[in-house]
Structure 1
Amino acid sequence: MRRTRPVGRRVRRPLIALFAAAALLLGGGVPAYAEPDEGGTKKLRDALAATAKAHIEAKGKLDSSKARQKQLTKQLAAVEVRLVELTAQVGEVAAQSYRMGRLTPTAMLLNSASPEEFLDRAASLDLMAQRDGKRLRGLAEVREQARQAKVAVDTEVREQQKQVAVMNNKKKEAEAALAEVSSGSSGGFSGGNSASARPAPRNSDGSWPSESCSLNDPTSSGCITPRTLNALNQTKAAGYKRYVNCFDNRPSGEHPKGRACDFSAAAGGFENRSATGGDRAYGDSLAAWHVRNANRLGVLYVIWYRQIWHPGTGWRSYGGSGSPAADHTNHVHLSMY
């Protein structure tokens, strides 16, 4: 069952402030609520989203091209086998003509001993002409098919080279954008090894369809995209059922577009302290699971515990302002395509 807060967003903060004040007066240790923060500047967030989308689109085109090339290669192999067969058949016709010398149809007919033999030879000549003509036409057609198949394969190879170049460029752009908040590659997280998510719907060519913030967000009073809802539901189905909030009316980022969710590490919700122990292990596993299923779900990037996963760069360090919210040490951030 989805964990929900006992109070609404509008009255939550005053109540939390009241509880925190009471806790201080009474000497209690109740952790304060910490609003999740996507981290970085608007420029950085826009760059991350743009480069991740471009990388995913190029990767999709690359995979489609590889699939087409594989099919074309099979077709070319079959055509080449047929080409060998027809070449041999035409070779037989040429060899037969050589053995018979310059015997012409007219000579064959004139050498007929009777009218009946004349008609038989005429019929045979017609059949031979049809057979040999068919073989020659077939050879020419198959040669053209082979030529076209080779051109198509070469076209796919060039397309793949183009998309690889795009991916490399987007990787460089993402690394440049991250340079101000990242010290380089990082180790990522373990756990969440199951690629069990139900894939989100794609277009017939394998690309992601364009989606708007059109569905009610079950975690708030806002909206989310169908792909985000699928990711949310699949995350819960995989066993990650602690508090989550998706839509948030922020000035920038993916949350106000219904394309992001924040998953609390603590069982009771977002806390103003870094996750440790079981909460840290929960966040590690959840972040790893999202990356493992990124291609199935349509993930743009994941941020957790001072690290960010981008499809073009992999895991890299990611520093915020130092608070648990900004450093993402109290929640896992998931952005969707």
Structure 2
Amino acid sequence: MRLDPVRRRLATVLAVLAATTGLALVAPAAATAAPRPLAAPGDSGDDGEGGSKSLVEQLEAASKGFVEAKEALDRSKRRQQQLATRLKEIDAELGPKQGALDDIVRQSYRTGRLGPMSALLTADSTDGLMDRVATLQTVAVKQDRAIRDLKDARTKQAQAKTAIDAEIRDQQRQVTIMAKRKAQAENALKAANAAAGDEGSNGASSGSSGSSGNSSRASAAPRNSDGSLPDESCSVNDPTTSGCITPRTLHAMQQAQGAGFNHYVACFRHQNSGEHPKGRACDFAADKNGFGGVASGSSRDYGNRLANYFINNASRLGVLYVIWFKRIWLPSSGWKAYSRGNGDPSSDHTNHVHLSMR
């Protein structure tokens, strides 16, 4: 193939530069490129997270459902405690209120039942009649107030007991939902691992148990007045790419960086499924400057500590799940096998920690 004059001159210049400087003129290494989305054999779309589109969607739904049910359960338990405290206060009020009414009744029996007719018949003067009428009115007012106070207290007592019963029923519903969501996630993983020939490796990942490692406490993400997490969209600029992320994802990344996890990060990217295109996921490289080969030594330790940091702060940050070194951490189940990659460090998550957010 013949080169035109311009291309021949350019080739000559490059050859001279290479010969005189000893520099190899090659394309820059893509060390900092984010893991590329993977085709998902037998499934439509891709997730870029080492699994099929349907698997990722099930894990997302199961984890979100589990966490929301757990938080609803916790809120219900707090409400139940508040109601129990209020019920105790009402019970303490009932004694004196009942006692006040009993005193009025006893006084009535001691002095004889005083009614309008007896007041008229037994009065020996106009002044005496007026005194008896005033006494009759005073007793009636006191008795009416005592009865009303006692009735109100008993109504509040019944309402508090009914509310406590409702909270207990709600808690039972949330526990049932949590169990179903846990089974949904584990069954989806079991089926995926069976298809990958890795049925027996659903144990905890060595060196990243989630109960140890980095103990730094993250600042909690903003919540609604009832304690739930607000719905968020991909609305803030992603500082790691030209895309967008949610405010909660940005908060989690900044908290991790503030805790000393300052290696390369990539968040938003276009793909057909998963959390990255929603701005709810970030990939944290184990190596300092980019996504390299399988992490080892200090890079492996960094990944372990970072994964544990997100797990230990999962509730405060709003973590959906974490993937690291062929394992996935789920709020319902802890660490489980996640061997859906293609054997390369990116799809196996052996060179980066994947964080998905609610």
For normalisation by structure 2, the TM-score amounts to 0.81
Residue identity matched to 1:193: S
Aligned residue pairs: how many?
A: 310
- CA-CA distance at 1:200 after TM superposition: 1.5
Q: 1:172 aligns with which of 166, 173, 183?
A: 183
Per the alignment, residue 115 of structure 1 pairs with: 126
1:289 and 2:309 matched: yes
1:153 and 2:171 matched: no
SS in 2 for 1:16: coil
Gaps of 5+ in 2: 1-25, 37-47, 194-198
Q: 1:305 aligns with which of 310, 321, 325?
A: 325
Partners of 1:14 and 1:48 in 2: CA distance: 38
Per the alignment, residue 16 of structure 1 pairs with: 29
1:263 and 2:274 matched: no
- CA-CA distance at 1:329 after TM superposition: 1.4
8 Å Cα contact 1:33-1:271 kept in structure 2: no
| Pair 1:120–1:253, CA change in 2 (3 A) | same
Larger-Rg structure: 2
1:51 and 2:62 matched: yes
- Aligned pairs for 1:1-337 (under 5 A) are 14-16=27-29, 35=35, 37-102=48-113, 104-179=115-190, 180-181=192-193, 183-186=201-204, 188-189=209-210, 190-195=212-217, 197-272=218-293, 274-319=294-339, 320-337=341-358
- CA-CA distance at 1:211 after TM superposition: 1.5
1:296-320 superposed Cα distances (whole Å, 9 cap, x missing partner)? 1111000112221111111222223
Residue identity matched to 2:331: P
8 Å Cα contact 2:233-2:246 kept in structure 1: yes
Partners of 1:140 and 1:208 in 2: CA distance: 40
Partners of 1:156 and 1:248 in 2: CA distance: 42
Residue identity matched to 2:214: G
Per the alignment, residue 20 of structure 1 pairs with: none
Gaps of 5+ in 1: 1-12, 18-30
Deviates more, 1:37-46 or 1:104-113: 104-113
8 Å Cα contact 1:34-1:271 kept in structure 2: no
1:269-327 superposed Cα distances (whole Å, 9 cap, x missing partner)? 1112x212211111111100101111111110001122211111112222233322222
1:190-235 superposed Cα distances (whole Å, 9 cap, x missing partner)? 311122x222222222222221111111001111111111111111
1:17-66 superposed Cα distances (whole Å, 9 cap, x missing partner)? 7xxxxxxxxxxxxx897836511111111111111111122122212212
For normalisation by structure 1, the TM-score amounts to 0.86
| Pair 1:71–1:298, CA change in 2 (3 A) | same
SS in 1 for 2:354: strand
8 Å Cα contact 2:104-2:142 kept in structure 1: no
Partners of 2:130 and 2:86 in 1: CA distance: 44
SS in 1 for 2:29: helix
Partners of 2:186 and 2:137 in 1: CA distance: 73
Partners of 1:56 and 1:309 in 2: CA distance: 13
Partners of 1:33 and 1:129 in 2: CA distance: 86
Instruction: Point out which structure has higher relative CO (alpha carbons under 8 A, 6+ apart).
Output: 1
Partners of 1:237 and 1:68 in 2: CA distance: 35
Partners of 1:295 and 1:246 in 2: CA distance: 20
